Structure formats: C-alpha cells, structure tokens
Amino acid sequence: MEAVFALAIGTLTASGLWLLFRPRTLQVVLGLCLLSYAVNLFILAAGRLRTDAPPIVGKGAVDPAQFVDPVPQALVLTAIVISFATTALLLVVLLAARGLTGTDHVDGEEDDL
C-alpha cells in the first residue's frame, strides 16, 4: 500500500507542479488544486498508513495499538477546508483579472511571440 500511496502523491505533485508553471490562470488554479490533494494525502501518511483501524476511540479501557492516529485526520480536514476556501477566492480574483485585462495570461498580457 505504501508504494501505491507514494506513487499517487508523486503523480499528483508532478502534475500539479507542471500545471502551476503554465501561463494560463486556470491551469495554475488546477495545479494548486492537485498540489493540495497531494499535500492532504501526505499529511494523512504522516500518521502512518493502516487499514481496518478506526481513528475514534470508544469508552472504557482501550488498546491504543488497535487505533490509527486521529490527529493527522483532523489536520487534513482543516487543510481541505482552508485550501478549498483560498482556491475559491483565487478563482474570484482570476475572473476579475480576466475582466480587467482581457486575457487569461498570468501576467495580464500575452507574450510577444
């Protein structure tokens, strides 16, 4: 599972970085989205990968070895919400820039070719 997980993070990061360096604003936004997915998976992996282990501990005496670390999952939730909100905000600025400059180039003007 570790290999698949690492490959997924790697693929997302590579695609995200490639898109981030593209000249169109929408590509940049999509790149940031992919990068944030990669980072979210990475945070999850920071709590050690386990299957069939719940993060919520029940009442009474419990064996911590039966459970997965809940903290990274809480962190991921926060990170998802924040990156969602900032991406939405970036989209708004993108639209404004498109309206004001008349182009969707990240510099607000086309390259002279």
Partner 1 sequence: MTGWMHHLVIAPIILPMFICAVLLAFDERRRTLKRLVSLGTTAVLVVISAVLVWQVDGGRQALPGTPHVYLLGNWPAPFGIVLVADRLSAMMVLLSSVLGFTALFYAIARWDRAGPRFHVLFLLLLAGVNGAFLTGDIFNLFVCFEVLLAASYGLIVHGAGEERTRASLHYITFNIATSLLFLIGVAMIYAVTGTLNMADLAVRIGQVPPTDLMLLEAGAAILGIAFLVKAGIWPLSFWLPRTYAAAAPPIAAIFAIMTKVGIYVILRLSSLLFGDGTGAAAGFANDWLIWAGFATMAFGTLGILATRQLTGVAGHYVMVSSGTLLAAIGMGAESLTAALLFYLVSSTLAVSALYLIIEPVERNAGEEDMIDGIAEPVFDDEYTGAIDEEESEIGVVIPGTIAILGGGFIFCTLLLAGLPPLSGFIAKFAIIDALFSSAAAISPIAWILIALIILSGLATLIAMTRAGIDLLWAPTKDSAPSLSAVEVAPIGLLLTACLALMILAGPVYLYMEGVAAALADRSAYIDAVLGAPRAGEATP
Q: Which residues bind partner 1 (CB under 8 A)?
A: 20, 25, 28, 32, 35-36, 39, 42-43, 45-48, 71-72, 75, 78-79, 82-83, 85-87, 89-90, 93-97, 99-101, 106-108
**What minimum distance in Å lies between the beta carbon of 46 and partner 1?**
4
Contact 94, 26 (CB under 8 A): yes
Which of 39, 46, 42, 23 lies closest to 86, judged by CA?
39
**What minimum distance in Å lies between the beta carbon of 61 and partner 1?**
19
- Distances in Å between the alpha carbon of 105 and those of 48, 86, 110? 41, 20, 6
CB-wise, 14 or 46, nearer to partner 1?
46
Bridge partner residues of 105 (DSSP): 24
DSSP 69: -
**What minimum distance in Å lies between the beta carbon of 54 and partner 1?**
19
**d(Cα 30, Cα 32) in Å, to the nearest integer?**
5
**What minimum distance in Å lies between the beta carbon of 45 and partner 1?**
8
